[in-house]
Amino acid sequence: MKVELIQVDREKCVKCGICADVCPIGIIHMKQEWPEQADPESCIACGHCVAACPHEALDNLRAPLSGQTVMAKFPAVPQEQAYQFLRSRRSIRNYEKRPVPREKLLQLLDIARYAPTASNFQSISYLVIEDPQILQRIRTLINTWMEEQLHLGSYWAQRYAGVLKRFEGTETDTVLRNAPCIIVAAAPKGLENGRDNAKFSLAYVELYAPAMGMGTCWAGLLQMCAFSGYKPLLELLNLPGDREFSGAIVAGYPKYRYNRLVDRNPLQVEFR
C-alpha cells in the first residue's frame, strides 16, 4: 500500500515548486500543478520541503510541520558575533572538581541531535561516564595500553610517553584531564560514515558547551586506545552489541577563564 507521505494544502500552495527543487533525493515532483511524491520509501526525513515552503502549504509525515520551529530571522546570529563565538572555543584541560548535573549534560547533548549526518541517518547514541571509579579504571587501562605500545616500539607512543612521564607522580591527569565525565559517541556497527557522524555530533557539543558555561576536550588517548580494538577498554565501556565506539570527549566546568582569543596559523587557500 502506497503511503501518502506528502500532504498539500491547496488553498495555501502557490505552485512555486520550491519543495521539489530542494528535495535532495528528488522524490517530489510538480505534477498537475501540485507537488506529488514519487518514492516515499526513499525519503530521508530531512524536512527541507516543509522548511523551505514560504506559505506553510506542505506537510511531510516523516518531518511534520508541527515539529519545525519558525526562524525569526536569517542568519540567526550576526556574522561578527558568530566569528567571535567560534574563536572563543578552547580545548579545556583544567576542570573544577565538581560534577556536572545530569540535566545539564542532557541539555548539552541535545544539541548533538542537530549535527549533520550522512543521508540524515541520525543514528548516534551516547554513553556518559561520570562514576569516579570507572574513570580511574579507564585511566589505568589506557596507561597499561600505552606501556604495551612502547614495548612494541611504536613511534607515536614514544612521543606521548614523554608527556605522561613529565606528569608522573603529580595530580595532573594527562589521559582524561581530571574531567568529571566522558562523553562517548557510538554508531551502529558497520555503518559507513559512522565515525564521521560521531565527530560532527561531538563537534556540536564542543561548540555549544561554552554557551552553557562548560568546556570540553577531545579524549585523544582514549580514542586511539578504543580504535585500536583494545579489548579490556571496550569491555569496560560495554556498549550495546549493535553499537561500536566512534569517538569521545571529556567535559566539565573550566577551572580557568581565557581572557583573550588566541591566534592560529595563517589561512592557506588555493583556488583553481
**pLDDT tens-digit map of 44-96:** 999 999 999 999 999 999 999 999 999 888 888 999 999 999 999 999 999 99
Indicate whether 255 pLDDT > 50.
yes
**pLDDT tens-digit map of 139-184:** 999 989 988 888 888 877 777 777 777 667 777 788 999 999 999 9
Amino acid 155: pLDDT: 78
Amino acid 32: pLDDT: 76
The share of the chain scoring above pLDDT 90, in percent, equals 79
- Residue scoring higher pLDDT (39 or 131): 131
Residue 229: how many CB atoms within 10 A of its CB? 9
- Could you tell me which CATH number the domain at 89-252 has? 3.40.109.10
Amino acid 1: pLDDT: 45
C-alpha span between 39 and 26 (Å, rounded) = 9
C-alpha span between 271 and 80 (Å, rounded) = 25
- Could you tell me which CATH number the domain at 6-67 has? 3.30.70.20
Indicate whether 123 pLDDT > 60.
yes
Fold: same for 6-67 and 89-252? no
Angle, vertex CA 93, rays to CA 215 and CA 185, nearest 5: 60
Read off the pLDDT band of 3 (50, 70, 90). low
**pLDDT tens-digit map of 208-244:** 999 999 999 999 999 999 999 999 999 999 999 999 9
Q: Considering the chain, what is the average pLDDT of its residues?
A: 92
CA 46 centroid distance within chain = 17
Beta strands 34-37 and 28-31, pairing class: antiparallel
C-alpha span between 75 and 70 (Å, rounded) = 13
- For the chain, what are the domain ranges? 6-67, 89-252
Amino acid 193: pLDDT: 95
3-state secondary structure 120-182: HCCCCEEEEECCHHHHHHHHHHHHHHHHHHHHCCCHHHHHHHHHHHHCCCCCCCCCCCCCCEE
Lowest mean pLDDT among 13-17, 206-210, 229-233, 249-253: 13-17
C-alpha span between 226 and 219 (Å, rounded) = 11
Indicate whether 2 pLDDT > 70.
no
Amino acid 172: pLDDT: 77
The share of the chain scoring above pLDDT 70, in percent, equals 97
- Residue scoring higher pLDDT (215 or 1): 215
